[in-house]
Structure 1
Amino acid sequence: MSTQLAVFLAVFGSVTLMGFAAARWRRPDSIHSLEEWGLGGRAFGNWVTFFLLSGDVYTAYTFVAVPTLVYGMGATGFFPVPFLVIVYPMLFVVLARFWSVCHVHGFVTPAEFVRARFGSPGLGTVVAVLGIVATMPYIALQLIGMEAVFEVMGLPKGWPLTLAFVVLALYTFNSGLRGPALVSIVKDALILWAVLAVLMIVAMTPGQWETIFKIAEDRYAVTPRTDDGLLLPVQSQLNYVTLALGSAVALFLYPHTLTGVLAARNRGTLRRNLAVLPVYTLTLGVLMLVGFAALYDGTQPIGGNANTVVPQWFNENAPAWCAGLAFAAIGVGAMVPAAIMSIAAANLFTRDIYRVYLRPRATAKEETYVSKSVSLTVKFGALLILLLLNTQFAIDLQLIGGVLIMQTLPAVALGLYTNWFHRWALGLGVGAGLVVGLFMLWQVPKLGGTDGRQVVREHFGGSAWPLNNLGLDSDATIYVGIVALAVNLLVAAALTPLLRAADVRDGRDDTREHDYVADEGDPTVRRMTEILDGEPVPTSFFTPVSRPTRFENASDDDPSRRAYPRL
C-alpha cells in the first residue's frame, strides 16, 4: 500500500467515524422530526455555521475542476472569484429575511415559503421539482473529484467510488445534517493545509509565481486555441461576466445553500458568517493557481482525464504523506456538500411532494423516515449518473441544472420582498424561462480538438450560447441562464397586471411583514433551541413560546395579505 493511500484511508476512516458519532452530538433522544434530522434542530451557532456554510459552498468539484479549467483555458477559469465577490453581499441582505420567515412558520424548504407567500401549491411544487432536478447532477460532480483522486492513487474505477458513497449514504441516513456539519470542520482544516502546501511548493520554485506566470503565458501563446490566455480574450468577456453573475444567482437559489442557512441559530449568527466567509475565497484563489503551476511543471492528466491534473500535481510535487492529505481534502470535500445536497433534495420531496399530494397528515416521525429514504435514493441516483454517463456530459448536466434553478429567482428571492407578482404570472414566467433556456442549450455544441473548434456533440454541449446564432458576425458568447432569467422576469412582470385586470383569482399570502424581520426571542419564532456549539441542549427540545395564530389581528383588507381564497 502506498503512503498516499494509507494517509487517505486513515483520514477517510476517521471522518466516517465522526459522521456516525454526530448522531449523538448534543442531540435529544426523544425528538424525531424533519427539522431535527434535516436542519440540525435549527440551532447551529457561530463556529458550526461557518464550517457548514463553507463546506456547502466550496465543494470538491470547485477545488478540482476550476484549477483544471485554469490549466486548460487560463483566465477564463477564474470566474468563481468575481461570482463569490458578488454573491456574499447578496446573501447578507436577502438570507436574513428568508431565515426569519422560515423560522416563524416552520418552513424547511424554499418551496414551502413560495406556497405560503403566493397561495399556490402548484408553484411550490414547480420550485421543489426544479430544486431536485438541479441538485442531482451537482451531487454527481462531487464524485468526479473523488474519482480523480482514486485514479491518481491507482485504484480501479467503479467499486472504490461506490464503497465511499455507501459510507456517505449510511452516516447521512443516521446523523442527518449533524454529520456533514461535524465533518466539515475536518474538511476545512484539510483544505487550509492544501493551500499551505501549494504556497510552500511554489516558494521553493526558482522565480516563484513570476516564473510560473511567464511559462503559462508562453504556453497559451503557442496553442491553436484563441479563447485561452493569461488574460481574458475579448470574445470571452461577455460570457465571463454573465457566467459570474448567473453563478452568483444560482448559488443563492440552490436548495443545499438554503438548508445550511436555516440551520443557523439566529439572524446574527447567519450575518456574521456571511460577512466572514469571503475570506475563504482566498483559499479558492490560491488553489486555482495550481492550474498555472501544473503547466510550469509539465503535469499531464492521467488517461486523458483532465480532472486528474490537480491531484497528479500534488502527487508529483509534494511528499507522499502531504499528497495523501491533499487527496483526503478532496475526498472529504466531496462528502460534505454531497451529504447536504442529498438532505436538501430529500426535504424538498418530503415537504413539498409527499406531504402535499400523498400523505397530508403524515406524522413528524414518518416525514423523517421518508426524507432519510429519499436521501439514499438521491445519492445513488447521482452515482448512477456518473457511472453510466460520460464524465464530461455529467458536467454539462450541472450547467443545465444551474439554468433551471435560476428560474426560481422571481418566486423565491423577489418573493422575500414583495407579493406583487400574480401566481399564474410567476408560473408562466418559469415556463417561458425554461423553454427559452432549454432551446438555447440545445443550440450549444460541444467543441473540442486541439483548436477548440471541432464539434464533438451537436447539442447540450455547454452553457455559452454563441451570438452568431442571431446572425451577428461575432465570436462572443453569453451565459444561457441570464437570458432565460431575463425572459422569465419579463413575462412575470408583463402578465401580472394583465391577470389582475382580467380579475383572475390570485392566491392568499399567509405571511406578514413582521415575519421577515423576526429573530430569536421573538414570540412568533418557534422551534428554537440552545446553541449547539455552546451550551448543552435542554431536556425540553422545543422552546415553549406564545405564538399568535396567523393573521389573528389582520382583516381581509390588510395590505400584508391577499383577500383571495387559496386554490
Structure 2
Amino acid sequence: MNGLSFSGTSGVLVLGAYAVVMLAIGWWAGRGTTSTSARSYYLSGGGLGFVALFFTLYATQYSGNSIVGYAPEAYRSGFSWWQSVPFMIAVIAAYLLFAPRLYVVAKREGFITPTDWVRHRFGSGKLTILVAVLMLWGLANYLLEQLVAMGQGIAGLTGTTIPYEVGVIAFVLVMLVYSWSGGMRAVALTDVMQGIALLVGIGVLLFGALYLVGGDLGGVTAALAQTDPEKVAVPETATSVEWLSMIVMIGLGAAVYPHAIQRIYAARSERTLKRSLAVMAWMPLLTTAVVFVVGIVGTQLFPGLSEDDSEQLVGMIANQVAGINVVFYLMMILLFGGVVAAIVSTADSALLAFSSVVSRDIYGRHIAPDASEKRQVLVGKVAGVVAVAILLVLAWNPPGTLYEIFVLKFELIVQLAPVFMLGLYWRRMAAGPAFWGMLAGALLSGGLTVAGVDDFGGVPGGLVGLAVNVLICVVGSLMVGRPDDGPDEDPLAAEPARAGAASSA
C-alpha cells in the first residue's frame, strides 16, 4: 500500500464528493424555509437543537486554522505550543460567563445580529456603529484566514494536484451556493457532517502517525531534544508570559466572535445551549491536543521543513498514513474531506455573520430603514459575495503564516469583550465611556500591531489595548454615574413569566 496517495484522481474525486454533499445539504436545508426572513435565514428561526448547536459551535471554535495551521505551529515551536489547548479551554470558560444570560435577553427581545444587544443595552448609535465596524474587520480577517487555509489544505492534501488558487475558487463557489440557499440551517447541517468526519479523522491521523514512528512518543520527544533542544526546553519567562497572555486574549476574543454570538441566539433553549457548552468543554483535549501531538510527531517524519513547507504538514502526514493499509486510506479520505469541509464550514459561518451585520446594522438601520426584510437579506447576500471576491485577491498572496493572520484579528476583536461581558452584569456601565474605551483600545492595539511594537514582556498589544479599554470604561462609568444615554429600565430585567419561558423554551 506504499503507493497510495491522495494526489491525482483520488484526491479530486474525494473533494468532488464532499462538494456534492455540501450542495445537497444546502438545497435540502433551503426547502420549505422562508429565506427572505432575517430570523429564518440568519438564525434558522432560533430553533437549533443540541446536536446541530453543538457541532456548529464546534465548527466555529475549531476552524481550518485549528487543523491545518496548529500542527505546523507545533512543528515549528515545539512544546511551548501546548498553550493552544488551554486557550481553547479558556474560550469555553468565557462563553459560560455570559452566553446563558445573553441568551435569555436575546430570546426575549428577538435579537438577530450581535449588535442588537449593544443597541438594546446602551441605546447609543455611535457605540453600535463602532461595534459593527470592529466586527466587520474581524469577520473579514477571519474569512481571509479561512480562504488561505482552504487553498493550503487542498494543495497539501492532494499533493498539489489541485493548485492553491483552483481549490480556493472551487470551494468558495460551493460555499456561496449552499449558504445562499439554506442560510444558518444549511451551515449548521454541514457543520454536523464535517465535525463527525474531523473528530474521527484526526484520531486516526494521530494513531497512524504514531504507528509510522514506531508508536513511541517518548522516543520522538527524546530525538527532538537531541536535534532541536529549544523545542522541549522549559520556556523562558517572556514565553510563559506570552502563553498566559494569549490564553486570556483568545479566550475572551473567540467567545465574542460575531458568528459565535449568533449561535447563542440560535439555540432552541437555554438548556440546549448549556448542554452544548458542557460537551464543548471536552473538545480541546479531543481536538487541539491531538493536533498538537501530530505536529510534534511530524518533526520526526519530516525533519527540516522550511516555514512555508511546514504549512502543508497535515496533508503530508495524511498521505503517509494513507499508505499504511486500506483501512487507514479510507480513514484519511474521511479526514481529507473533513478538513476541507471544516474550513469551508467555518468560512460560511463568518460570511453569514458578515452579511447579517451589513444587511441589518448598516443597510437596514442607516441606508434604507424602510427596506423590507427580503431586500435586507438580499443586500446581505450580495455584500457577502463582494467581500469574498475582494478577499480572494488578498488570498493569492497571503500576508504571513496562518498563525500570524490568526493573531492579528484578535488584537481588535477582543476589544468587544467589555460591552458583552461587563455590560451584562454591571448596570452602571455607561455608553459614552464604553465607546471611548473601545475606540482607544482598538486604535492602540492596531497601532502597536502595524508598528510592530512588542516591548511588553510577552504581553500582546491586544491585551494592552484591552486594559486601556476597560480602564476608561470603568473609571468613566463611575465618574458619569447612571448613564443618561442608556435605557431607563434595567435592560437585563425581564418579567418573571417571560424570563422563565425563555429559559425553558
Structure-2 separation of matches of 1:354 and 1:74: 47
Residue in structure 1 matched with residue 411 of structure 2 by the alignment? 403
Describe the SS at the equivalent of 1:477: coil
* Match status 1:278 vs 2:277: no
- Which structure would you say has the larger Rg? 1
Alpha-carbon spacing, 1:257–1:115, altered in 2? closer, same or farther (3 Å): same
Alpha-carbon spacing, 1:71–1:354, altered in 2? closer, same or farther (3 Å): same
Alignment of 1:199-278 (within 5 A): 199-204=206-211, 205-221=213-229, 228-229=231-232, 231-278=234-281
Q: Is the 8 A contact 1:73 1:229 kept in 2?
A: no
* Match status 1:329 vs 2:338: yes
Residue in structure 1 matched with residue 3 of structure 2 by the alignment? none
TM-aligned CA deviation for residue 393 of structure 1: 6.6
Q: Is the 8 A contact 2:27 2:182 kept in 1?
A: yes
TM-aligned CA deviation for residue 380 of structure 1: 2.7
TM-aligned CA deviation for residue 283 of structure 1: 2.1
Letter in 1 for 2:236: P
Describe the SS at the equivalent of 2:282: helix
Residue in structure 2 matched with residue 349 of structure 1 by the alignment? 358
Match of 1:298 among 281, 295, 302: 302
TM-aligned CA deviation for residue 360 of structure 1: 1.7
Residue in structure 1 matched with residue 432 of structure 2 by the alignment? 424
TM-aligned CA deviation for residue 480 of structure 1: 1.6
Residue in structure 2 matched with residue 147 of structure 1 by the alignment? 151
Residue in structure 1 matched with residue 423 of structure 2 by the alignment? 415
Q: Which has the higher helix share?
A: 2
Describe the SS at the equivalent of 1:165: helix
Letter in 1 for 2:385: L
Structure-2 separation of matches of 1:517 and 1:147: 51
Structure-2 separation of matches of 1:237 and 1:9: 44
Q: Is the 8 A contact 1:144 1:307 kept in 2?
A: no
* Match status 1:370 vs 2:379: yes
Residue in structure 2 matched with residue 559 of structure 1 by the alignment? none
Q: Is the 8 A contact 2:428 2:478 kept in 1?
A: no
Q: Deviations over 1:202-254 (max 9, x none)?
A: 45342421112222222322xxxx6x435433330000100111100001111
Q: Is the 8 A contact 1:32 1:365 kept in 2?
A: yes
TM-aligned CA deviation for residue 408 of structure 1: 1.5
Alpha-carbon spacing, 1:427–1:374, altered in 2? closer, same or farther (3 Å): same
* Match status 1:17 vs 2:24: yes
Q: Deviations over 1:346-373 (max 9, x none)?
A: 1112221112211222222222222222
Match of 2:189 among 156, 172, 182: 182
Structure-1 separation of matches of 2:322 and 2:341: 19
Residue in structure 1 matched with residue 460 of structure 2 by the alignment? 479
TM-aligned CA deviation for residue 36 of structure 1: 0.1
Structure-1 separation of matches of 2:339 and 2:362: 34
Structure-1 separation of matches of 2:305 and 2:13: 23
Alpha-carbon spacing, 1:496–1:203, altered in 2? closer, same or farther (3 Å): closer
Structure-2 separation of matches of 1:314 and 1:373: 37
Structure-2 separation of matches of 1:407 and 1:517: 33
TM-aligned CA deviation for residue 391 of structure 1: 4.1
Q: Is the 8 A contact 1:68 1:291 kept in 2?
A: yes
Residue in structure 1 matched with residue 89 of structure 2 by the alignment? 85
Alignment of 1:59-78 (within 5 A): 59-78=63-82
Q: Deviations over 1:406-444 (max 9, x none)?
A: 111222221111231221111111121122212322342
Structure-1 separation of matches of 2:184 and 2:163: 31
TM-aligned CA deviation for residue 305 of structure 1: 3.5
Describe the SS at the equivalent of 1:466: coil
Residue in structure 1 matched with residue 455 of structure 2 by the alignment? 466
Structure-1 separation of matches of 2:307 and 2:430: 53
* Match status 1:96 vs 2:96: no
Structure-2 separation of matches of 1:150 and 1:200: 22
Alpha-carbon spacing, 1:220–1:182, altered in 2? closer, same or farther (3 Å): same
Letter in 2 for 1:415: G
Q: Is the 8 A contact 2:98 2:420 kept in 1?
A: no
Match of 1:170 among 152, 156, 177: 177
Structure-2 separation of matches of 1:218 and 1:114: 54
TM-aligned CA deviation for residue 304 of structure 1: 3.2
Alignment of 1:91-130 (within 5 A): 91-130=95-134
Q: Deviations over 1:244-274 (max 9, x none)?
A: 1110000111101111111110100000110
Q: Is the 8 A contact 1:385 1:394 kept in 2?
A: no
Letter in 2 for 1:107: F
Structure-1 separation of matches of 2:18 and 2:499: 37
Structure-1 separation of matches of 2:269 and 2:226: 51
Q: Deviations over 1:146-178 (max 9, x none)?
A: 212332322223233112101111111111011
Structure-2 separation of matches of 1:515 and 1:283: 39
Structure-2 separation of matches of 1:255 and 1:197: 33
Residue in structure 1 matched with residue 445 of structure 2 by the alignment? 437
Residue in structure 2 matched with residue 458 of structure 1 by the alignment? none
Structure-1 separation of matches of 2:128 and 2:427: 14
Question: Any runs of at least 4 consecutive aligned residues in structure 1 with deviations exceeding 6 A, and if so which?
Answer: 516-521
Structure-1 separation of matches of 2:425 and 2:169: 44
Q: Deviations over 1:462-509 (max 9, x none)?
A: xxx233xxxxxxxx42122111101111112222233459xx843325
Query: Which stretch of the first structure deviates more once superposed, 160-169 or 243-252?
Result: 160-169
Query: Which stretch of the first structure deviates more once superposed, 69-78 or 313-322?
Result: 313-322
Residue in structure 1 matched with residue 199 of structure 2 by the alignment? 192
Letter in 2 for 1:385: L
TM-aligned CA deviation for residue 130 of structure 1: 0.3
Letter in 1 for 2:53: T
Q: Is the 8 A contact 1:172 1:339 kept in 2?
A: yes
Describe the SS at the equivalent of 2:153: helix
Unaligned runs of 5+ in 1: 446-464, 468-475, 529-567
Q: Is the 8 A contact 2:30 2:181 kept in 1?
A: yes
Root-mean-square deviation (CA), in Å?
2.6
Alpha-carbon spacing, 1:216–1:159, altered in 2? closer, same or farther (3 Å): same
Letter in 2 for 1:213: T
Residue in structure 1 matched with residue 471 of structure 2 by the alignment? 490
Structure-1 separation of matches of 2:94 and 2:458: 26
Alpha-carbon spacing, 1:10–1:110, altered in 2? closer, same or farther (3 Å): closer
Letter in 1 for 2:20: G
Q: Is the 8 A contact 1:238 1:477 kept in 2?
A: yes
State the percentage of identical aligned residues. 22
Alignment of 1:488-567 (within 5 A): 488-500=469-481, 505-509=484-488, 512-515=491-494, 522=501
Structure-2 separation of matches of 1:516 and 1:62: 42
Describe the SS at the equivalent of 1:507: coil
Describe the SS at the equivalent of 2:259: helix
Letter in 2 for 1:433: G
Query: Which stretch of the first structure deviates more once superposed, 235-244 or 318-327?
Result: 318-327
TM-aligned CA deviation for residue 314 of structure 1: 1.1
